[in-house]
Structure 1
Amino acid sequence: MEHTTAFVHCAQKILVEFIKENFPLVTKINYVSDGAPAHFKNNASILNLIYHKRDFGLDVSWMFTATGHDKSAGDGIGAVLKSTVRRDTLSKNILMSNAKDFYEF
């Protein structure tokens, strides 16, 4: 599994389908990203943003923040979730090799 623009597009498709099915009143997705320089060096990422409405049927905005700044409650929740899953999988000798395994766990 590689973190390429194609991978991101496929992940977005899965996530947007989930959002549209479970939260039909959502009309816009707000992406938040740190490490903005890496995104601006990849024109495919910007094209993905430009064609988001056409590809997925939802409006979009993309907020770039400085790396390591603008932390929110979501960062803490993510940290607790990952550490809890790691502790549980290690104690039960469960191997996770990709995001799908993590999601299913």
Structure 2
Amino acid sequence: MQDEIDHTSFVIISECNTHDTVAVHLFQKLLIQFLTDTLGHVKKICYFSDGCAAQYKNRKNFLNLCLHEEDFGVQAEWHFFATSHGKGPSDGVGGTIKRLAARASLQRPFDQQIITARQLFEFADSEIDKIHCQFATTEQYRQQAEFLKDLKMLAQFQVHGICILLFQSPKKRLQFDPFHLQTRKDRN
């Protein structure tokens, strides 16, 4: 049987407005659960994102990448586009949901407007067939933050790695390729 490439759109709508590495870790957890439920075994995930320091390009997320296989059971690599570069299909999917929800909200009576994250999720999940939607609660975010805090990962691990700058016209991309993770105990 030949390997086939298939496309699916997956969106997480969150009621939590904090978008940091905790949110990224939670969204990865939800995404990987969706992928394994849908596809079965996943060998490797290749992430592509912009260079937002608060969400992606920071020491906590590099550690997240180093521990990705341990946390999620799947190998991963992460590619970062330069600021204002790297717009892709995900931006269009998010824009489609917002546009359709805005139009539907304008067509509804005043007391049935789509004004909360939960209402947006319920609309998208029931009305948009080709996009799989997942809802993330503030409580899930809080639990994920507690999980990551309890591990005290930043105090226990030092990340060693290679940063490779790849200049591709017209977009610049930074690739982080971790090759070694060592605990402080192992170094002594």
* TM-score of the alignment, normalized to the shorter chain, above 0.5: yes
Counterpart check, 1:5 vs 2:21: yes
For residues 7 and 37 of structure 1, what CA distance do their matches in structure 2 show? Answer: 13
Is the partner of 1:71 in helix, strand or coil? coil
What stretches of structure 2 of length at least 5 have no aligned partner?
A: 1-15, 124-188
User: For residues 67 and 95 of structure 1, do their structure 2 counterparts lie closer, same or farther at Cα, with a shift above 3 Å needed?
Assistant: same
Equivalences, count:
102
Alignment of 1:57 with 2:77, yes or no, is: no
- After TM superposition, list the pairs within 5 Å mapping 1:34-73 onto structure 2: 34-35=50-51, 37-38=53-54, 39-40=56-57, 42-73=58-89
Q: Is the 8 A contact 1:35 1:67 kept in 2?
A: yes
Structure with higher helix content? 1
Is the contact between residue 27 and residue 58 of structure 1 (CA under 8 Å) also seen in structure 2?
Answer: yes
Kindly indicate whether the alpha-carbon contact (under 8 Å) linking 2:48 and 2:78 is maintained by their aligned counterparts in 1.
Answer: yes
Cα separation, 2, equivalents of 1:60 and 1:76: 24
Task: Give the aligned residue type for 1:34.
Answer: D
CA distance in 2, matches of 1:26, 1:35: 25
2:106 paired with 1:86: no
The structure whose Rg is larger is 2
**Are the counterparts in 2 of residues 29 and 61 from structure 1 also a CA contact under 8 Å?**
yes
Distance 1:5 1:72, change over 3 A: closer
Give the TM-score, by structure 1 length: 0.77
Distance across 2 between alignment mates of 1:37 and 1:95:
29
Higher relative contact order (CA 8 A, sep 6+): 2
The alignment's TM-score, normalised by the length of structure 2, stands at 0.47
Contact 1:36 1:65 survives alignment (8 Å)? no
Q: CA RMSD in A?
A: 2.2
Q: Distance in 2 between matches of 1:28 and 1:59?
A: 5
User: Where does residue 121 of structure 2 map in the other structure?
Assistant: 103
Aligned-pair identity (%): 38
In structure 1, what is the equivalent of residue 144 of structure 2? none
How far apart in 2 are the matches of 1:50 and 1:101? 36
Amino acid paired to 1:95:
I
Query: Which structure 1 segments of 5+ residues have no match?
Result: none
Letter in 2 for 1:45: N
**8 A contact 2:49–2:81 mirrored in 1:** yes
